[in-house]
Structures are given as C-alpha cells and as structure tokens.
C-alpha cells in the first residue's frame, strides 16, 4: 500500500511538472529577432514610432517586445513574436521613406506711405509691380501708396526639416527660417509651415560672436500648393515703411 502511494505521488508530480512546462511554453512563444537598418529616419525617431506596437505581458501571453538602438550602424534590433515583428517591419517600410523635396518662393516687399520716388522706384517699375494680383490686394487693404520688391528668393528644403537662409536687399539684411510639413489632401496639397523672419543684429562681441537677431515676423501658417500668401508685415522707421513677406510653396517633382 505504501509503495502504491509513492508511485501515485510520483505520477502526479510528473504530471504537475509536465503541465507546468507546457504552460510555460504556451505563455512564452517563440520570439523572432531582426536587425533592420534605418535609411532616412533617425534610429531614435524610428524607435519612438514603433514602440507603441510592441507586445506587453498579459494574462495569457508572457511576452515583452523589445527595440534596441544601434546608432553607429543606424539600425534597430527588434525582438517580439513573429507576427508583431512582421507588423513592425511593414510599418517601418511605410514610414522610413525619402522626405519630399519642397520649394518655397519668398518675396520681400517694401511698402511706403510716400510716393514711389521715396523708395527709388521709377513709374514704370511701380506699374509693373502693381500688376501683381497680391500687391493689388495689399494696395486696397493697406494705407501704403507705393511698393518696392527687395528680394525674391527660392528656398529648397526637405519635408519635416528646417532651412535658414539670408534674404533681403537695398541695404536690408534679413534671415528667414522655414520648417515645413507636407500634408497630402484630396482637393489640394497643403503645407503647414513654421516661419520666422528676423533681422540680424550686426553687433559682434570681442570673440566675434554675433548678437541675437530681432524677430520681425513669427507665425505658423497653412499654404495651398502654388498659392501666394501674405505671411505678415513688420513696420520700419516708425511706421512710414513696412516689410511685407509673401510666400508660395510647391513639391519638386
């Protein structure tokens, strides 16, 4: 009888161990590990975009997905269930694409309360400028009687990046900072732009470092592709003159 009890205990112990191992195997499925190189995104940005899709431990599945940076190789190590890894690779393929090349045209216009002669503009030059539809609209809305084009600059920048360029003319030096984000829409392509127009101080320290610029215009605006928009106006010389910034944008094919 005693021997029978020992055999039964051993049997049930074996069954218990087997069930425990089976449950552990069920709770910890086989994981897949992939090393993937990031082409256009930074590894930090790619990791943050993929992190929300990793597996987390649950009552039925004891898995913690992992993503590790390899900055020196611009790569990621992804470890998770095969299904999740496949999904992450698919998401990364859609997101890690070459940024669009965007082109902006920035027109800097000087407006004056006086006649064109006060800006050094001839009658013919004034007539030509007044034929511009945007300038015509400005003339009807503002008190300025004459206008002069100081600069028309073409600025090329990639989507979701920042470009800083010196523009201006006629003794006026300006700095234009543009950070665009392209949004594809059904009716018209749209550009969401963070923009700052500033005037360099021109004052340098003994170490040769230029002082902080003066901000003239700082705004976030939405542009339709090919549409010319008046971004803003900054008064000069007590209000007798003003700088007017006009911007247009398009995707470079």
- CATH number for the domain that contains residue 52: 3.30.1370.120
Distance between CA 125 and CA 22 in Å, rounded?
Answer: 87
Q: Does 194 lie in the same domain as 79?
A: no
Whether residue 143 is found in the same domain as residue 113: yes
156 and 106 in a single domain? The answer is yes
Residue 87 lies in a domain: yes
Reported as type and span, the H/E element at residue 82 is helix 82-95
Task: Answer yes or no: do 155 and 172 share one domain.
Answer: yes
Domain match, 137 and 213 both: yes
The H-or-E segment that residue 49 falls in is helix 43-50
In this structure, are 69 and 143 located in the same domain?
Answer: no
Let me know if residue 23 belongs to a domain: no
Q: What is the pLDDT of residue 11?
A: 47
* Last residue of one domain, picked from the residues 95, 127, 147: 95
Helix (H, G, I), strand (E, B) or coil at 117: helix
The pLDDT tens digits for 64-95 are 889 999 988 999 999 999 999 999 999 999 99
What does pLDDT average to over the chain?
84
Question: How many domains is the chain built from?
Answer: 2
Please report whether residue 164 resides in a domain. Answer: yes
Arithmetic mean of pLDDT, 146-154: 91
175 and 234 share one domain = yes
Question: What H or E segment, with its residue span, contains residue 104?
Answer: strand 101-112
Q: Among residues 45, 62, 95, which one ends one of the domains?
A: 95
Q: Across the strands, what pairs with 180?
A: 193
Give tens-digit pLDDT for 209-242.
888 889 999 999 999 998 999 999 898 766 788 8
Show the domain range for 33: 28-95
Residues 30, 82 contacting (CB under 8 angstroms): yes
Backbone angles phi, psi at 152, to 5 degrees: -140, 105
CA distance 227 to 195: 16
Domain membership flag for residue 3: no
Q: Is residue 4 part of a domain?
A: no
User: Do 166 and 109 share a structural domain?
Assistant: yes
Q: Are residues 147 and 238 in the same domain?
A: yes
Q: Give the pLDDT of residue 12.
A: 46
Note whether 87 and 107 are same-domain residues: no
Are 199 and 172 part of one and the same domain?
yes
Residue 134 lies in a domain: yes
From residue 110, how far is each of 56, 139, 173, 243 by CA, in Å? 60, 12, 13, 5
Beta 163-169 vs 101-112: how paired, if at all? unpaired
First to last CA, the chain: 89
Question: What are the tens digits of pLDDT across the range 9-36?
Answer: 544 455 554 545 555 555 556 889 999 9
Neighbouring residues of 190: CB distance < 8 A, sequence distance ≥ 6: 182, 183, 222, 223, 224, 225
What would the pLDDT profile of 153-175 be if each residue is shown by its tens digit? 999 999 989 999 999 888 889 99
Report yes or no on 6 lying in a domain. Answer: no
Helix (H) or strand (E) holding 174: strand 172-183
Which pLDDT tens digit goes with each residue over 165-209? 999 888 889 999 999 999 888 778 899 999 999 998 878 888 878
Answer yes or no: do 240 and 115 share one domain. Answer: yes
Of 65, 80, 95, which residue is a domain's last?
A: 95
């Amino acid at each position: 009888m005693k021997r029978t009890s020992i055999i039964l205990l051993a049997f049930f112990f074996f069954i218990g161990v087997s069930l425990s191992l089976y449950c552990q195997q069920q709770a910890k499925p086989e994981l897949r590990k992939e090393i993937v190189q990031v082409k256009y995104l930074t590894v930090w940005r790619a990791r943050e975009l993929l992190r929300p899709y990793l597996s987390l431990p649950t009552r039925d599945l004891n898995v913690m997905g992992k993503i590790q940076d390899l900055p020196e190789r611009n790569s990621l190590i992804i470890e998770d269930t095969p299904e999740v890894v496949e999904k992450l690779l698919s998401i990364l393929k859609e997101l890690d694409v070459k940024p669009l090349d965007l082109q902006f045209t920035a027109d800097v216009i000087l407006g004056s309360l006086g006649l064109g002669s006060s800006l050094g503009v001839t009658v013919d030059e004034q007539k030509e400028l007044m034929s511009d539809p945007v300038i015509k609209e400005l003339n009807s809305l503002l008190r300025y009687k004459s206008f002069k084009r100081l600069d028309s600059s073409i600025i090329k920048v990639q989507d979701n990046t920042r470009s800083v360029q010196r523009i201006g003319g006629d003794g006026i030096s300006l700095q234009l900072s543009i950070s665009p984000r392209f949004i594809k829409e059904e009716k018209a392509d749209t550009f969401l732009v963070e923009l700052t127009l500033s005037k360099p101080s021109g004052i340098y320290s003994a170490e040769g470092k230029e002082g902080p610029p003066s901000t003239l215009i700082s705004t976030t605006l939405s542009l339709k592709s090919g549409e010319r928009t008046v971004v803003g106006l900054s008064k000069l010389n007590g209000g007798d003159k003003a700088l007017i910034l006009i911007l247009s944008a398009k995707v470079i094919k």
